[in-house]
Structure 1
Amino acid sequence: MEKEPVQYQLFRKIFSAERMVFRIGELSAMTGVSSRQLRYWEQKNYIQAMERGDEQAARSYRFREYARVMGIKYFQDQGYTLSASVKKINEYIDMANFVHVFVKEAIQTIEDYGDHIEIDLGWFDEATQQRLIAVQKDGKVTYKIIER
């Protein structure tokens, strides 16, 4: 198996959402949603606290629950009911999960050439003779096809 490029290893280590854990008070302060509301949402299965080994331990939440709470609150602030807000954020989360898988599968390599970055998005044709390359330069993204 080919070794993963260093930048992927570094990004995975730095941006590991599984390492971002918040206690209920922290989540409340970060989102503006009261601890009481968070416990209610948890009771309704709209959000999930992490499994606790000790019932005396404070409720803790992973980053994905932070994102879910922010989304629910956003839609409520826009005038949606709680149940409609949950439905809307679930739709957005489903789309984000699709995009995450798509990007993870699509990106083959990332090369920094100093003045621009090239991202290999994989084979462009069924005959596997052409690669699709995204080029980011000066804040703009263009595409090119390279014969291999």
Structure 2
Amino acid sequence: MANGTRRDLRELFHKGQLTIGISELSRMTGVSPRQLRYWQKKGYIIPKNEDEPGQARIYTMKMVIKAAAMSNLLQTGYTLKAAAAQVDERMRPAQTMYHVIFDRYQGYQVADDGQILVDLGPFDPQPEQELFAKLVGDKVVFDLKNRRELE
């Protein structure tokens, strides 16, 4: 079996990898840089480099999505505070999925038959077992394998 490391996926989709500046964020969302700075001051959006005073603001894709969604809600009559709260609530499932995927993902293996087995790490109730996921047709199927057999 060929192996893929945890780093493979993390490098592609790491939280902070894809960033843009405030000018690009303004162009993408239609919200002025001044308004975006106000949103930041209120704590509704947070630049990736907020701990680096004097540096140009850069924003992660999460903040891009949040700012765009807030802008859309403001256009439909929401207040800024209500729009931010609504977006935070709507983003919770996506944040949960992100953590499930990235906290559990250990890599992948390609089985002898070409099947991709996604390694989700130790199976919590039975830590001597490793949990794998694979696609069978369009359905996700889980499989437990003894860790000693994998070594």
Q: TM-score range by the shorter chain?
A: 0.5 to 0.7
Matches within 5 A, 1:40-79: 40-49=38-47, 50-51=49-50, 52-54=52-54, 58-77=56-75, 79=77
> Could you list the per-position Cα deviations for residues 93-140 of structure 1 after superposition, in whole angstroms to 9, with x for gaps in the alignment?
444333333333333442234743222334557344654432114443
Report the CA distance shift for 1:111/1:73 in structure 2 as closer, same or farther (over 3 A): farther
Letter in 2 for 1:28: S
Q: Is 1:90 aligned with 2:88?
A: yes
User: Greater strand share, 1 or 2?
Assistant: 2
Shift of 1:58: 4.2
Determine if contact 2:4/2:108 at 8 Å carries over to the other structure: no
Residue number in structure 1 paired with 2:31 = 33
Q: Please give the secondary structure, in 2, of the residue aligned with 1:18.
A: coil
Stretches of structure 1 that go unaligned for 5 or more consecutive residues are none
TM-score (norm 2): 0.67
RMSD of equivalent CA atoms? 3.2
Residues of 2 paired with 1:15 and 1:125: CA distance?
25
In structure 2, runs of 5+ residues without a counterpart are none
Q: Distance in 2 between matches of 1:14 and 1:107?
A: 13
- 1:7–1:147: structure 2 CA closer, same or farther, 3 Å change rule? closer
Q: Could you tell me how far apart the structure 2 residues matched to 1:17 and 1:129 are?
A: 30
Tell me by how many angstroms 1:86 deviates. 0.5
Assess, with a 3 A threshold, how the Cα gap between structure 1 residues 103 and 58 changes in structure 2: closer, same or farther.
closer
Report the TM-score when normalising by structure 1: 0.68
Distance between the aligned counterparts of 1:128 and 1:35, measured in 2?
50
**Identity within the alignment, %:** 31
Aligned residues: 142
